Amino acid sequence: MVKKFKDHPEFTPDFTPKQIFQQGSFGGTYFRDIHSNVTNKNYTNSKDEFPKSWFKGVTVDSKVCDKKLNKYKTTSGSSLRFWEKKGWIKEQDPYGWIQWYCRFYKGRRSKDDDRQIKRWQGVAGPDGRFKKWLETMRSKGKNSLKIQQLLLQWGVDS
């Protein structure tokens, strides 16, 4: 169960970071070794700051994305370079949103919290564009595994 964040009641993901990884996300590559163009540093073993139980039985540091490791057996999302070019990656969390969420979930609070929560709300929150898009598709008898995978990666049950 996801704990409620008293200091940010508007942030209501359905899944904990552990649940996101355990269900199958990011093709097993999220915490792979990277070079950040934002910090101009190399990062290795970045998952080690988080509880080992979050990653028990799952791959999170593969160099190669394997969509079969994802819950919906599809890929979803963009590359780290794309996110860096868009300005979505900040120095404190060079891996991006999930790294921010993992740290936030563990209790860290930072100057980037409001921005990240607004991003979450816009993508996957109650009125998020992808959540609404999936609802519209389903009302027409259609579905999208890519959108379901994306929502899972943002901590939302589709």
Instruction: Answer whether residue 26 is part of any domain.
Output: yes
Instruction: Answer whether residue 120 is part of any domain.
Output: yes
Instruction: Answer whether residue 3 is part of any domain.
Output: no
Instruction: For residue 32, give the 3-state DSSP assignment.
Output: coil
Domain total for the chain?
Answer: 1
Model confidence, pTM? 0.94
**Domain containing 70: what range?**
17-153
Please list the pLDDT of the chain residue by residue as tens digits (158 residues): 677 899 999 999 999 999 999 999 999 999 999 999 999 999 999 999 999 999 999 999 999 999 999 999 999 888 899 999 999 999 999 999 999 999 999 999 999 999 999 999 999 999 999 999 999 999 999 999 999 999 999 999 98
Query: What is d(CA 66, CA 136) in angstroms, rounded to the nearest whole number?
Result: 29
Instruction: Answer whether residue 136 is part of any domain.
Output: yes
Instruction: For residue 36, give the 3-state DSSP assignment.
Output: strand
Instruction: Answer whether residue 113 is part of any domain.
Output: yes
